[in-house]
Amino acid sequence: MRLGSGGGAGGQYPTAHVRKPPEAPMIGPLATGLIVLALVIALVSLLTTALNKAMGNVLLVALGVLELGLLVQAGLLIAALVRGEGPAETATLIGYMAGTVVIPPVAAFWGVGERSRWGPAVIAVAGFAIPGMVGRMLQLWQGTA
What's the pLDDT score for residue 17?
Answer: 46
Question: Among the CATH numbers 3.40.50, 2.60.40, 1.20.120, 1.10.3470, which is that of 25-142?
Answer: 1.20.120
Among candidates 47, 66, 70, 36, which has minimal Cα distance to 120?
47
pLDDT band at 85 (very low <50, low <70, confident <90, very high): confident
DSSP classification of residue 19: P
What is the pLDDT at residue 1? 47
d(CA 92, CA 76): 16
Question: How do the domains of the chain map onto residue ranges?
Answer: 25-142
63 or 13: which leads in pLDDT: 63
Average pLDDT of the segment spanning 90-96: 94
For the beta carbon of residue 35, count every other beta carbon within 10 angstroms. Answer: 17
- Tell me the C-alpha distance between 140 and 144, whole Å: 6
Mean pLDDT score of the chain: 85
- pLDDT at position 27: 79
pLDDT at 18: 39
What residues does 4 pair with on adjacent strands? 13
